[in-house]
Amino acid sequence: MASSEIDKLINEVSKLPGLGRRSAQRITLYLLKNKERSLMPLVHTLNEANEKIINCKVCGNIDMIDPCSLCQNTKRDEKTILVVEDVADLWTFERIGFFRGMYHVLGGSLSAMNGIGTDQLTIKKLMQRIEKQQVTEVILALSTTMEGQTTSHVVADKLEQFDNLTVTRLAQGIPIGGEVHFLDENTLSTAFQSRKKIV
């Protein structure tokens, strides 16, 4: 029978996304067996992260400085804002590296089930930025789930009031390398509706 301290640790680990009780037990045991090599460096890194990593008050990214290094980068085009749900999405765009504008992390998507309404998202902040930075294009890069789509509509509605602002969203359709006969109905019909003239 595990002592209460070990139990507490297993409990904390099992709260991490994607981990069930069994994985939490395995990780906890691994850490305790390898204190020097795994547990101590982890404790140290977690402490550092806790002390140094903060939220950017402009875009919602996480960094060691506020405004974050992306917001402070004068080479980026501040007239274009790419709206994402989560910091992980921002990382994806940055990893690929073709986007040279600014980001705005919305903080999720609207969901009655999870109690996320418009006030829980950073829509107001986005609107303030559009005004302040004289933004000319907002690109909505939200999920194509029902919640993501609803959120896109709500945000687009709110942005309608700005003159000289173009609001776009990422194209939806056939994935690169995808075969037509494997596609689900929704993907295929959306791809059909958003077909592009090529000749």
Is residue 106 at the binding interface for Zn ion, with CB under 5 A as the rule? Answer: no
**Radius of gyration over alpha carbons of the chain, in Å?**
21
Q: Beta-carbon neighbour count of residue 153 at 10 Å?
A: 14
Strands 137-140 and 166-169: parallel
Which is closer to Zn ion, CB of 61 or CB of 109? 61
Footprint on residues 129-188 left by Zn ion (CB under 5 A): none
Is residue 59 at the binding interface for Zn ion, with CB under 5 A as the rule? Answer: yes
Is residue 90 at the binding interface for Zn ion, with CB under 5 A as the rule? Answer: no
Candidate residues 10, 24, 71, 155; the one interacting with Zn ion per rule CB under 5 A: 71
Stretch that binds Zn ion, among 33-41, 71-79, 115-123, 185-193 (CB under 5 A): 71-79
- Asked if 102 and 90 touch (Cβ cutoff 8 Å), the reply is no
DSSP code of residue 38 = I
Both tokens assigned to 156: 């687009």
Footprint on residues 38-57 left by Zn ion (CB under 5 A): 56
H-only helix segments in 15-117: 21-33, 40-52, 69-72, 87-96
Is residue 24 at the binding interface for Zn ion, with CB under 5 A as the rule? Answer: no
Q: Which residues bind Zn ion (CB under 5 A)?
A: 56, 58-59, 61, 67-68, 71
